[in-house]
Amino acid sequence: MAGKDLNGRIVFLDSGAGGLPYLGAYRALDPERPLLYVADKKNFPYGEKTKAGLVSLLLELTARVQKHFSPALIVIACNTASVSALAELRQCFPGTDFVGTVPAVKPALLSSAKKHIAILGTKRTLQDRYINGIAESTANDCTVTRISAAELVDFVEYRLDHAGRGERMAAAKKYMDAVRECGADALVLGCTHFLFLLDEFREAAGPGIRVFDSIDGVCHRVESILAQGSRAGSDSALRSSAKTRPGGGLGGSPQPCAGVGGRDGEAAVCRRRYGNSAPLMEEAEKESLPDSAGRRSNLLLVTGDEGGGELWERRAACFDLSFVKPQGWDDV
C-alpha cells in the first residue's frame, strides 16, 4: 500500500447493474469515501464469455481504470469475473488491492442440514473449478446442484426497473421451485445481479430454505484491507519520525446497511438494495474528471455506445452518481 492514497476512490466494476447493491451497501458503511462504478456495457454479459476472453478484456479495462482514476482499491463486483480473472488481475497489477465477489458456497455448505445446496449463477461461474474446490475442502460429502440463470441476469439488467412486485416474485419463484425440487435446503446467489431480488428469493424460499449472498463479506473485506493499509502507513510514519526526531511523541460507527422497502414500481426498485433513497438528482454530465473541489463526488462510467441512456440515468439518480467519461478513456 506504500505510495497509495488510502483516502482515494474505490472502484466497483461489473458488466452491468449487478454491482450497484455492493456499492450502495459499502457507501452506508463509509459515506465519505469517493466511489466510482464502472458498468462495462460494451462487454455485457460477462457470464457468456470464455475464461480467456474475460481475462483479456478485464486486464484492458483495469489498465484504463488505473490510468484515469488511480484507485485505492478495486472491487470486482461480478462473480463470473472474480472466479475467472481475479488471480490474473492481482498478478498483473501487484500494486493494486482487489476484492472479489465469489459465491458464498462455504457458509451454505456448513449450514446445510440435508448436505445439499444449490447455486444459482451464470454458465461461466458454475463451470469454474472454484466451486468444486470449495465444496471438496469444506464438506466433500455434500451435494452441490448448479442452476444456470442467464435469463434472470437479463431480467434484472433490462426489465427490473419497470417490473411490479408480481413479476419480480414470479422471476424468483421459478428458480426457487427448482431448488425445492432438487431437495436442497440452501440457495447461494452466485451472481451479483440476483441481489436485486434478494427479498423475493427469501419470501419464495419460506422457512425451509436459506438464501446466501456475499454482500456483507465483501464490504467487510474492503474495510479490512483499507484498515490494514492505514495501520501500515501509520507504522511507517512513526518509524520515520523516530529516526529523524528521536524522542518525538505520538500524535494524532459504521452505519448499518440501508434497508429494503417501498411500494411497487420504479421508486421502490430505486430503493431496493441500492443503498440510497435520496430524491432524483439533477442530471450531471462531465467530460473529464472533476477537479479537486469535486473530488469526493461519486461517479458512474458506462462503456460502449450505449453511453448511459434513460435506464442508466435513472440508476445514476437513484445512487446519486454523476456520469463521467475521461478524455482519452479509449487509450490504454
Identity at 148, one-letter amino acid code: S
CA-nearest of 166, 167, 147 to 156 is 167
Name the residue range of residue 181's domain. Answer: 105-213
Question: In terms of domains, do 237 and 110 share one?
Answer: no
Distance CA 231, CA 235 (A): 6
pLDDT in tens, 27-43: 999 999 999 999 999 99
Catalytically annotated residues: 78, 191
Q: Is 300 within the bounds of a domain?
A: yes
Question: In terms of domains, do 204 and 220 share one?
Answer: no
Among the three residues 162, 195, 213, which one is the final residue of a domain in this structure? 213
Cell of 1: 500500500
Global pTM reads: 0.80
Question: In terms of domains, do 207 and 116 share one?
Answer: yes
Going from the C-alpha of 274 to that of each of 30, 40, 67, 230, 300, the distances in angstroms are: 15, 18, 28, 28, 14
End-to-end CA distance of the chain: 23
Question: In terms of domains, do 272 and 189 share one?
Answer: no
Q: Is 155 within the bounds of a domain?
A: yes
Structural domain total, the chain: 2
Question: In terms of domains, do 222 and 311 share one?
Answer: yes
Q: Is 46 within the bounds of a domain?
A: yes
Question: In terms of domains, do 109 and 179 share one?
Answer: yes
Question: In terms of domains, do 90 and 45 share one?
Answer: yes
Distance CA 284, CA 324 (A): 9
Whether residue 221 has pLDDT greater than 90: yes
Question: In terms of domains, do 160 and 22 share one?
Answer: no
Q: Is 68 within the bounds of a domain?
A: yes
Question: In terms of domains, do 263 and 193 share one?
Answer: no
pLDDT in tens, 74-125: 999 999 999 999 999 999 999 999 999 999 999 999 999 999 999 999 998 9
Q: What is the pLDDT, as a whole number, of residue 6?
A: 61
Going from the C-alpha of 107 to that of each of 143, 182, 188, 201, the distances in angstroms are: 14, 19, 9, 18
Question: In terms of domains, do 119 and 188 share one?
Answer: yes
Q: Which band of pLDDT confidence, cut at 50, 70 and 90, is reported for residue 261?
A: very low
Residue 186's beta-bridge partner residues? 210
CA-nearest of 293, 269, 137 to 200 is 269
User: In terms of residues, how long is the chain?
Assistant: 332
Question: In terms of domains, do 173 and 237 share one?
Answer: no
Q: Is 236 within the bounds of a domain?
A: yes
Q: Is 249 within the bounds of a domain?
A: no
204-212 mean pLDDT: 95
Among the three residues 213, 229, 262, which one is the final residue of a domain in this structure? 213
Q: Is 2 within the bounds of a domain?
A: no
Q: Is 269 within the bounds of a domain?
A: yes
Question: In terms of domains, do 169 and 192 share one?
Answer: yes
Distance CA 154, CA 15 (A): 12
CATH number at residue 112: 3.40.50.1860
Cell of 145: 446442484
